[in-house]
Amino acid sequence: MNNFFYPLVKDPYSDSDIKEAKNILNSRQLTMSKTTSKFERLFSKKLKTNYSLMVNSGSSANLLALQCLINPYRKNRLKPGDEVILPTLCWSTSLWPIIQANLKPVFVDINPITLNIDEKQIEAKITKKTKAILLVHVLGNSCSMDKIKKIKKKYKLIIIEDSCESLGSKYRNKYFGTFGDFSTFSFYSSHQISSGEGGMVCCKKKEDYDIIKSLRSHGWSRGTSFEKKYKSNKFLDKKFIFFNSGYNVRPTEVSAAIGLNQFKRLNLMIKSRDQNRKKIINKIKKNKNLMNKFDFYGASKYVTASWFGLSIKIHKKLNKEKVINILEKSGIETRPIISGNFANQPAAKKYNLATNQKFPESDFVYKKSFFIGLPTNKISKRTLNKIEKAFEKAAN
């Protein structure tokens, strides 16, 4: 019986994470409070973003960024039907917040080397209605942010960086998530840091911060510039002023405590994942039976990657289903690169997105690539040997 298991993520919580969570439980302050604010401040300070707000998931972070763009309090708000460009290789909730904001998603194929949007194909998709580009930084890597900056300037576009898979990656030594007008992060359990469920939305302008803050919590004014504005209105209780529409996508204080504790170890975890990645690649590249059968996606020019996982491309003669089947049976958990070409998903068809359009590179990546996890603790020799053996089986 095979009892070897190499999961996507293995118990991502340290003893000190659990201790921090217990402290919060003991304090009885479970709803969003000071620890959340502390995490947000530290996040902004480290990444050098102007404003950060923690939410209950990366999906909620995307939702609030897109809802902010159409909010009536925003001076340059987008109108129904305005277009937002995004790559076909995306997550479902990179896409749906665009539709939920009454905006039109316009898919662009990816570059099969970077796995990110193909910058060269963007301009052909720009119309008078194009107002924004939503980038999805895939598994720790990005496209050329230099090219994106040029396109942004030329067409006066808003940039949203879905960095849910890429916390800690840098482009020209600047953190992902600091190039766009908005950026989003996920702290779901397999991501660079984990708070169980959780996410962060960042923005550059105070105007957007106030809107997002109110959207996060019922549309009320607490902690925003609007608090003062209605203070003297005798028909309003100053603690319960609802000046905007809203949701409730707040994190719990427990998630914030775990997220904050993990965030303090981010650099160590990035280093560890990177070392483990190099070890696996070395092992496979040194094996004569494997070196020509598997290839590995690297970082784009100017990117210092904070790897989410190890993305692997199989040789054209290998069958991915077969390879994955054998790896899974040998105890190695695998995942597709995000969700493959999202235009192929039944939901995209139901909503008539990208009908009759072709995205060959995204299809190719889906057909020939997948990824495996990278642990944050040192990978053992035994594990490395087991991985090698599993790949040998899969390559035959």
Q: Which residues are catalytic?
A: 191
Which stretch in 125-133, 140-148, 158-166, 262-270 sits in contact with ligand PLP by CB under 6 A? 158-166
| CB of 8 or CB of 326, closer to ligand PLP | 8
With CA atoms as reference, report the closest residue to 251 among 23, 43, 2, 39.
39
Six-digit token pair at 256?
């914030």
Question: Does 176 contact ligand PLP by CB under 6 A?
Answer: no
Task: Decide whether 49 or 166 has the Cβ nearer to ligand PLP.
Answer: 166
CB of 226 within 8 A of CB of 82?
Answer: no
- Fill in the DSSP letter of residue 32: S
Interaction between residue 164 and ligand PLP (CB under 6 A): yes
Stretch that binds ligand PLP, among 34-42, 56-64, 293-301, 349-357 (CB under 6 A): 56-64
Please tell me whether residue 97 binds ligand PLP under the rule CB under 6 A.
no
State which residue, 8 or 384, has the beta carbon closest to ligand PLP.
8
- Measured CA to CA, the distance from residue 219 to residue 236 in angstroms comes to 15
188 binds ligand PLP (CB under 6 A): yes
Q: Which residues in the 115-154 window bind ligand PLP by CB under 6 A?
A: 136
Do 137 and 160 touch, CB atoms closer than 8 A?
A: no
Number of residues that bind ligand PLP (CB under 6 A): 15
Which stretch in 57-65, 66-74, 172-180, 251-259 sits in contact with ligand PLP by CB under 6 A? 57-65
CA separation for the pair 75, 82 (Å, rounded): 16
36, 49, 71, 93: which one contacts ligand PLP (CB under 6 A)? 93
DSSP 206-244: HHHHHHHHHHHBTTB-TTSTHHHHTTT-TTS-TTS-B-S
The partner residues of 199 in beta bridges, in order of sequence, read 55, 186
CA gap 335, 311 in Å, rounded: 9
Interface contacts to ligand PLP, rule CB under 6 A: 57-59, 62, 91, 93-94, 136, 162, 164-165, 186, 188, 199, 338
